[in-house]
Structure 1
Amino acid sequence: MDIRAEVWSPLQNTAVWLGAWLHGLESTDNLVDALGSLGGHHTLVDGRPLVDLLRELRQVTAGAITASEEPVLRLVLSGPGEAPALRAGTDAARAASASGVGAIVIRDDDPLTSHILVPTVLGDGTEWEWFTETAPLPAPAWLSPGEADQLLTRATGEAARLVEASGYRTDALNSPRLTVGTLADFYDTPGLPSSVPARAAKLFARADRVAAIIETVTDRLADHRIDPQLLGLWRHIRAARMAGVAYAVREFGRI
């Protein structure tokens, strides 16, 4: 199993960049550069270029930007034992599950309409499929950064307690800081817009740190004796990333 695919989400940073751009806080040139770093060459599934995707995003969100306190877009992630928070059985849900990357939900000024962007990584590029839903989607958790951080911290502490209680020991873990630091730097590349609120940035950093620790133990050290204790953190990492995106995009609308 590819641990990095489960604990890292380039779609997190993509969603934040799109949110900042939609709120006029980032230029189109900066957005295109960031998306290129995050996913290579971007196209729609029908072959149209990135500029067409951005143009349609502008159109559908024109009335939704100031329509309510809800963020104009949010991130949807899923993993083992956790289906994406989309309408079950729909083409969008099937595509999100198949891609394994997640989805971005775009709010329309019609409260019953949502637009769902599902990326698929193909070689050195990203292909986007656009779905439109006219029925309510499952309600997200709407965790605050503080709540998400508390859940992640508590889960990390519980995992550490279980690891210690199991009697697990390895010399390779005596000083894993260099490896963890290198991975954390990787997760942060190519960074976030300068307008990202500090609380969201700190939550993303905490999620990256825990993700780096999990990858260090389960992948870099090739030791899977404590997988049950560590892999239980995946869900909380995903929740933290989704909460951080929702908070950041909501705050963009208040700047």
Structure 2
Amino acid sequence: MCCPSATLAVWSSAWLHGAAASDDALDALLAWGEAHEVVAGDDAAAERFDLPPSGRRPATPVQLLAALRANGATTAQLVLPVPGDVRGLGGGGPFTEAALRTGEAVLFPELGYGVTPLPIAEGLWRWTVYRLATPAPPEYTGLAEAEHALTDAIRDSAGALQTLDVARERPGVRAELSARLRSSPRLDWPGGTPGRSLRVLQRAEEIGAILALANADDPGGALSASAALQRADALRPLADAIRAARRAAVNEAVRVFADQADRTP
């Protein structure tokens, strides 16, 4: 699967550009949880987005969408940060810290704000809006480039694991993989989402499920700490490529919705 931030980025962009109804955008979030609330992470976000701070009665995603439109948002950008790779977050500060904790966020670059999701109870997600500490530099990876890099990373990781002798198939691995994929939320995407973006997201989901199994407690028969460390090093480029592919697929969909709106008379 991808993540709640991907759902918000694509659907909010489709809605902002007239390619989706607000009810459909809100319904898409329900794949992740039956309830969503929105708060401000700082005074600037509270004032600009007319949102309550954390600890007060939260707002709803309806109010977030309305605030995005009222503030002139025109695009969104998915970021999937990890320690050592915080590109696109606009420097340090509370937003960067929150995005690293969740591993995902949505940027609204022209506004200078970002949103992070966090599950806080069964079926309940809290979205927090932050002002960026510094402007986020543009981050763009072409979808074809990201897809090619994912293919290369799959090949290189497989070769490295075979060399380390930790790629032996364990019993029941196909059933584990199928179960993991079936347990992923069934996501809807707006009409007009590029087919190639959807294909890359699906491929990234499948490879991500395989990677999760490879990182399980006794993956591939890696019995020693040194072998486990070597395995992690071998798989890190694949994890990076999966994140890059997901970002590129979502951000390409956002770009297409914006371009379609620009061409509409």
Q: TM-score, normalised by structure 2?
A: 0.78
Contact 1:84–1:93 at 8 Å: present in 2 too?
A: no
**Secondary structure at the counterpart of residue 106 of structure 2:** strand
Compare CA radii of gyration and give the structure with the larger one.
2
* Pairwise CA distance, 1:25: 1.7
Aligned counterparts of 1:154 and 1:121: Cα–Cα separation in 2: 34
- What residue is the counterpart of 1:167 in the other structure? 165
- What residue is the counterpart of 1:210 in the other structure? 207
Q: Which of residues 176, 180, 186 in structure 1 aligns to 2:177?
A: 180
Contact 1:78–1:84 at 8 Å: present in 2 too?
A: yes
- What residue is the counterpart of 1:157 in the other structure? 155
Aligned counterparts of 2:148 and 2:156: Cα–Cα separation in 1: 12
Contact 1:96–1:103 at 8 Å: present in 2 too?
A: yes
- What residue is the counterpart of 2:61 in the other structure? 50
Number of corresponding residues: 234
Contact 2:26–2:62 at 8 Å: present in 1 too?
A: no
Q: Which of residues 71, 89, 97 in structure 2 aligns to 1:86?
A: 89
Contact 1:84–1:102 at 8 Å: present in 2 too?
A: no
* Pairwise CA distance, 1:198: 0.8
Gapped regions of structure 1 (runs ≥ 5): 1-6, 66-71
Contact 1:84–1:96 at 8 Å: present in 2 too?
A: no
1:167-221 deviation line (CA, Å, top 9, x unaligned): 2353426x74443344334446223233210111111112111101112222386
- What residue is the counterpart of 2:119 in the other structure? 121
Aligned counterparts of 1:185 and 1:199: Cα–Cα separation in 2: 22
Aligned counterparts of 1:18 and 1:209: Cα–Cα separation in 2: 25
User: Percent identity between the aligned chains?
Assistant: 27
1:67-120 deviation line (CA, Å, top 9, x unaligned): xxxxx110011124323532222221122223x232111143xxxx42211222
**Aligned AA for 1:228?**
D
Seen in structure 2, the aligned counterparts of structure 1 residues 53 and 169 have a Cα distance that, compared at 3 Å, is closer
- What residue is the counterpart of 2:236 in the other structure? 231
Seen in structure 2, the aligned counterparts of structure 1 residues 106 and 171 have a Cα distance that, compared at 3 Å, is closer
Aligned counterparts of 1:135 and 1:171: Cα–Cα separation in 2: 47
Aligned counterparts of 2:37 and 2:81: Cα–Cα separation in 1: 23
Contact 2:91–2:134 at 8 Å: present in 1 too?
A: no
Seen in structure 2, the aligned counterparts of structure 1 residues 134 and 215 have a Cα distance that, compared at 3 Å, is closer
Contact 2:4–2:29 at 8 Å: present in 1 too?
A: no
Q: Which of residues 7, 26, 46 in structure 2 aligns to 1:13?
A: 7
Q: Which of residues 243, 247, 250 in structure 1 aligns to 2:255?
A: 250
Contact 2:31–2:185 at 8 Å: present in 1 too?
A: no
Q: Which of residues 28, 33, 37 in structure 1 aligns to 2:31?
A: 37
Seen in structure 2, the aligned counterparts of structure 1 residues 44 and 188 have a Cα distance that, compared at 3 Å, is closer
Contact 2:91–2:133 at 8 Å: present in 1 too?
A: no
Seen in structure 2, the aligned counterparts of structure 1 residues 189 and 42 have a Cα distance that, compared at 3 Å, is same
**Aligned AA for 1:129?**
T
